Structure 1
Amino acid sequence: MRPADGRSVFESGNPATNAIELTKRRQTVSLTKQGAASGNLRVNLSWRMRTSDIGGYTKRGGLLRNPGSLFKPEIVQAQGPAVVKIDLDLACMYELKDGSKGVVQPLGNFLGDINSPPYVKLSGDDRFGGTSGETIYINLDHRDEFKRLLVFVYIYDGTPAFDRTHAVVTLYPSNGPRLEIGLDERAPQARSCAVLLIENVKGELVVRREVRYVYGFQAELDRLYGWGLQWGPGTKEKV
């Protein structure tokens, strides 16, 4: 939106939430025009898994008949194996203007660095969802060195059921309202989702909603976006 004299103005978020929701109808926001293309951009993934979202559940007996069940996780009855939890991971593929490429993710312990290339840092790996979730920091003071960043989410462990996780990726810029992208579309059996792209377009940092689901993992997202990385098996450290 621009006033009559042609100057750009900030886009305001929802008055009740101070957030801009990126949807199919509204897919892009310019961090540069928001005055938010500097400092650390915080990207947060939060989700929750409720047993009622997986086709209901049953309890075997009661606590009086089964006192030991008090200390066991509730078993969810669904098609296929019983589900107790789901583990979503937040990650980011990066491509810098000098041609260097890579990934920041929990798998393989590729945690990145905030003060030196790639200027992207993963902080925390929440394996049970919750309000804190997982967070990636992007140092936008080095915005001129970025070519593009792909923020994505994959299901490391558990049943592929993105629409039942109530997952939300939220961007907290240094200025202006936060940006929210919900991962609530039905995508049966999908194990990964490209959530958003941050691109440097002629010096302007633009966030674009993607929300593209794939049935594979990082290598399939790589092919989809033409990143050109070599992928191999990896594991996360046990906690």
Structure 2
Amino acid sequence: MAFWDGLLRGRSAQFDTGSAATNSISLTKRHPTVSLTKQGAATGHLRVNLSWRMRTSDIEGRSRQSGLLRHPFKLFQPDVVQAHTQGMVNVDLDLGCLYELTDGAKGVVQPLGGFFGSTNEPPYVRLSGDDRFGSGSGETVYVNLDHHAEIKRMLFFVYIYDQTPAFDRTHALVTLFPSSGPRVEIELDERAPQARSCAVFTMENVKGELTVRREVKFVYGFQAELDRLYGWGLQWGRGYKSKL
């Protein structure tokens, strides 16, 4: 019993990430905010990246673990890839940003509608492209913080474009890469099986100090519901992506 128990513990330890990553800050419920100004990171280009991969451990992991306890020699057999199961649903996550500038201008940067923005002129926010498959690079939004005095607030959000609400089947991570100082990581780690959108974080300019606050609030609608939740006051219509 102790021998197999030790093998199982040793195998799971290979996947232990913990908090040993260097030069990074994780925003959590207990520690939700960080000041980019105090970190000396309120200038240059801020890179905001969304990456994700499909979660299969919830469905396959429990059955596999129980199977290993009954048949421990299966520990040494390779995993069988299960296609066309609930655990392998393809999810198209999109990264977007609601912005409000100090002159009162408001809008959105997102793949839908081709609102890719610009870093050299208002709104000083630009989306690099649309990743429909969760590739290694993910989706990235650039913010030109050299114009942070003209930025009042921003809300970065993630939504599922297709008709399958499946946030609970993805491992999604939003990472902020300032021009200097540590990166900031926010995991979308709460379960919301029916949610279609998630407000990830806000960035506000309060008396010249640029502060990032973790939100991770899931909603069952799309951008219009996030708009109402945070009081942006924009008019929304249905949008579509071009076919590949």
TM-score range, shorter chain: 0.7 to 0.9
RMSD (CA atoms): 1.9
Shift of 1:164: 2.0
Q: Which residue of 1 aligns with 2:77?
A: none
Equivalent-residue separation in structure 2 for 1:179 and 1:76 (angstroms):
35
Is 1:150–1:198's contact at 8 Å kept on the other side of the alignment? Answer: yes
Q: What is the DSSP-based 3-state SS (H/G/I as helix, E as strand, rest coil) of the residue aligned with 2:214? A: strand
Partner residue of 1:87 out of 92, 98, 102 = 92
Is 1:152–1:192's contact at 8 Å kept on the other side of the alignment? Answer: yes
Any idea what the Cα deviations from partners look like across 1:159-216, whole Å, max 9, x if unmatched? Answer: 2121321000000001110000000101120000000000001000000000000000
TM-score, normalization by structure 2: 0.80
Is 2:46–2:145's contact at 8 Å kept on the other side of the alignment? Answer: yes
Equivalent-residue separation in structure 2 for 1:54 and 1:130 (angstroms):
22
Shift of 1:131: 1.8
1:223 matched to 2:223? The reply is: no
Greater share of residues in helix: 2
1:133 matched to 2:138? The reply is: yes
Any idea what the Cα deviations from partners look like across 1:31-59, whole Å, max 9, x if unmatched? Answer: 00010000000000000014454568xxx
Shift of 1:109: 0.6
Is 1:91–1:153's contact at 8 Å kept on the other side of the alignment? Answer: yes
Any idea what the Cα deviations from partners look like across 1:75-128, whole Å, max 9, x if unmatched? Answer: 4333xxx96410000000000010000000000110001100000000021111
Q: Which residue of 2 aligns with 1:183?
A: 188
Q: State how 1:95-110 maps to structure 2 within 5 Å.
A: 95-110=100-115
1:16 matched to 2:21? The reply is: yes
Q: Which residue of 2 aligns with 1:77?
A: 85
Letter aligned with residue 45 of structure 1: L
Is 2:56–2:169's contact at 8 Å kept on the other side of the alignment? Answer: no
Is 1:162–1:187's contact at 8 Å kept on the other side of the alignment? Answer: yes
Matched residue count: 207
Task: Provide the identity percentage.
Answer: 74
Change in 2 beyond 3 A, CA 1:153/1:42:
same
Equivalent-residue separation in structure 2 for 1:47 and 1:123 (angstroms):
16
| Runs of 5+ consecutive residues of structure 1 not aligned to the other structure | 1-13, 57-72
1:150 matched to 2:155? The reply is: yes
Partner residue of 2:205 out of 189, 200, 205 = 200
